[in-house]
Structure 1
Amino acid sequence: MEKVIDFDILIDDSFIQMCQNEALSPIHNKYVLSLVNDFEDGSWRYSKFQSFIWDNIAETSLSQKEREKLVSKSHSELVAAAKNLRLTDADEVGSGSELAEIVLYGIMKHYYNALPVVPKIFYKQNAQDNAKGADSVHIVIEKDNDFSLWFGEAKFYNSIEDARLNTIIDSINNSLQTEKLKKENSIITNVSDIDSLVDNHELCKKIKDALSPQESIDSIKPKIHIPILLLHECSITQGANCMSDEYKESIVNYHKDRANSYFKKQIEHLGAIFRYGEIKFHLILFPVPSKKNIVDKFISNVKFYKEQ
């Protein structure tokens, strides 16, 4: 299927092709995607970014059956979705984490053609709890009647300098533990969404059999992808007023530097995980001019729809 997303793509490459440090090992099965929003009338297009969030919000906070019931009822869908969202996070570092989850879901759906088999915001134990485990869980239908599993991490940071990168690696390390992977697999096979989303009954059974608790986690590691969205405040973007070649080149250079630093840290800290080299990692970088402006507007919109 064609990859379609309404943002400019500055980098879409395997890390091995852009690696600045050939001594790193293993550097294969690692990819970098750099996305940027555009500008209008000399300003970054906040309204376009907010529209992307709200166009995709039902994917994260409503089950497949709820979405089917609300077909052609867009306002009702937004009201229902907003009621499943928490307004703020307990700590400043995590502020905006649900917003980042929604952006990742949109990227997974529109760019990677993924099926949202476990809408994590919907499946929280209650409206005040963070989703347990991965921030997103998707299945991508591959050629030859096969599939891949995508367990995503989504962060919204004021900075993506080195100190912040360590917290992401800790989170990924936790999510790749066998116990956590088995838990995610059991959620996938026990919710009804997979039956509605995977039309091919033979493939649906194949997925459930592969994710059965009786199967070894080792056998599915080659099917696992970890998309890591780093939505981040960026001084380069803050200082720009148009999609110039200079702006794009600055972002490309910055994101290459951050990708190199991130994967170096990840290899050092996670390389001992059994069959680590067979797991595919996708670092997704998306700069914004002001985290506060985006989070404040998002919270304002959630409050509006919650009151409907």
Structure 2
Amino acid sequence: MDFEILINDDYLALVQETELTPIENKTVLSLANDFEDEKWRRRKFNSFVWDNIALTALTDQEREKLAGKSDSTLREAAVKLRLTDKENDKGKGSELAEIVLYGIMQHHYKALPVVPKIFTKQNVQDNAKGADSVHIVLEGEDAFSLWFGEAKFFNSIENARLGDIVESVGKSLQTEKLKKENSIITNMAEVDRLVKNKDLATKIKLALSPDNSMDSIKPILHVPILLLHQCSITAGAKEMNNEYRTRIREYHIDRASAYFKKQIEALSDKVSKYSSIKFHIILFPVPDRQELVDQFTNAVAFYKG
């Protein structure tokens, strides 16, 4: 992944003095695109989106059949997209954020896309239900972790918007929602295709069986939360210098603190085994949200056409 990593650490390593509790099992990842000719590199960002679109819109078998056929892959992926961005203001940018999260999950966390979420939607106008991303990370030869992600693209990540994210995360952690995600994983062929160790593949499917208590899943459950967001610091910058890096780091640590505070207050007493779940806030600033959404939806319309 070509984006610069500005922060990649446990929250407690970044903010040693905090009254938040429980604050363990929380990390912060801050990513930033660079500049060229004193302008934010929009083409590089858009290329990342389209390079990773197949992960969320196509199954592994479909991706394999289209290997080496980049134009056909893009067209097949575009057909699966909902294009609510043109018709529903509330949903603007949602698919774009989901694709970015799938790319980050593969390139940074080395995760397997066991459920391509856009593929699993019921029809082209409905949002895919449940988590925005579903991945498995192999932890050695005989262990794994389960990742159910949230992806948002906002004009602002000030406090008023953070509550919406906490609410969404809370709903995704309801027992019936977790069981539904697990059933989707076990009912698709992706685990068998992507996990080469067949004994581990069997272990994964047994662990996700509806007969198992969700309490046993919580210690291996990770929730990556992507906040793709419009940023005035980025809009006013012309180069990736130390001043820009420092300002973004400080802003993102502040926003991570504000988010975790809201999440702990809202969910720590409501979600069973909350302290066992690992949360990863991922922040990515862009200069102009609407421009990127428009470019994306216009490109999807082209490939759909």
TM-score, normalising length: structure 1:
0.97
Could you tell me whether the CA contact under 8 Å between 1:42 and 1:242 is conserved in 2?
A: yes
Could you tell me whether the CA contact under 8 Å between 1:94 and 1:155 is conserved in 2?
A: no
Match of 2:249 in 1: 252
Could you tell me whether the CA contact under 8 Å between 2:84 and 2:125 is conserved in 1?
A: no
- Indicate yes or no: 2:82 matched with 1:82: no
Match of 2:123 in 1: 126
How far the C-alpha of 1:169 sits from its partner, in A, is 0.3
SS of the residue corresponding to residue 68 of structure 1 reads helix
Shifted more, 223-232 versus 17-26: the winner is 17-26
Match of 1:68 in 2: 64
Look up the equivalent residue of 2:43 and give its one-letter code: S
- Unaligned stretches of 5+ residues in structure 1: none
Match of 1:18 in 2: 14
- Indicate yes or no: 2:284 matched with 1:286: yes
- Indicate yes or no: 2:172 matched with 1:175: yes
Structure-to-structure mapping, 1:95-174, within 5 angstroms: 95-174=92-171
Shifted more, 81-90 versus 178-187: the winner is 81-90
SS of the residue corresponding to residue 230 of structure 1 reads strand
CA distance in 2: counterparts of 1:94 and 1:31, whole angstroms: 27
Match of 2:27 in 1: 31
CA distance in 1: counterparts of 2:17 and 2:275, whole angstroms: 17
Look up the equivalent residue of 2:129 and give its one-letter code: K
Match of 2:293 in 1: 295
Match of 1:59 in 2: 55
How far the C-alpha of 1:19 sits from its partner, in A, is 2.4
CA distance in 1: counterparts of 2:194 and 2:63, whole angstroms: 12
SS of the residue corresponding to residue 139 of structure 1 reads strand
SS of the residue corresponding to residue 128 of structure 2 reads coil
Cα deviation 1:146-177 (Å, max 9, x = unaligned): 00000000000000000100000000000000
CA distance in 1: counterparts of 2:27 and 2:188, whole angstroms: 30
Could you tell me whether the CA contact under 8 Å between 2:141 and 2:200 is conserved in 1?
A: no
Please give the root-mean-square deviation of Cα atoms over the aligned residues, in Å: 0.9
- Indicate yes or no: 2:192 matched with 1:231: no
Match of 2:240 in 1: 243
How far the C-alpha of 1:143 sits from its partner, in A, is 1.8
- Indicate yes or no: 2:205 matched with 1:208: yes
CA distance in 1: counterparts of 2:300 and 2:206, whole angstroms: 39
Look up the equivalent residue of 2:49 and give its one-letter code: I
* 1:94 counterpart (83, 91, 94): 91
Identity over aligned pairs, percent: 64
Match of 2:5 in 1: 9
Could you tell me whether the CA contact under 8 Å between 1:93 and 1:157 is conserved in 2?
A: no
Cα deviation 1:218-276 (Å, max 9, x = unaligned): 01100000000000000000000000111110000100100010001111111012110
Cα deviation 1:4-60 (Å, max 9, x = unaligned): x21000000101112265211111000000000000001000000000000000111
How far the C-alpha of 1:83 sits from its partner, in A, is 0.6
CA distance in 2: counterparts of 1:94 and 1:20, whole angstroms: 37
- Unaligned stretches of 5+ residues in structure 2: none
SS of the residue corresponding to residue 232 of structure 1 reads strand
CA distance in 1: counterparts of 2:210 and 2:134, whole angstroms: 17
How far the C-alpha of 1:91 sits from its partner, in A, is 3.8
How far the C-alpha of 1:117 sits from its partner, in A, is 0.3
TM-score, normalising length: structure 2:
0.98
CA distance in 2: counterparts of 1:21 and 1:180, whole angstroms: 35
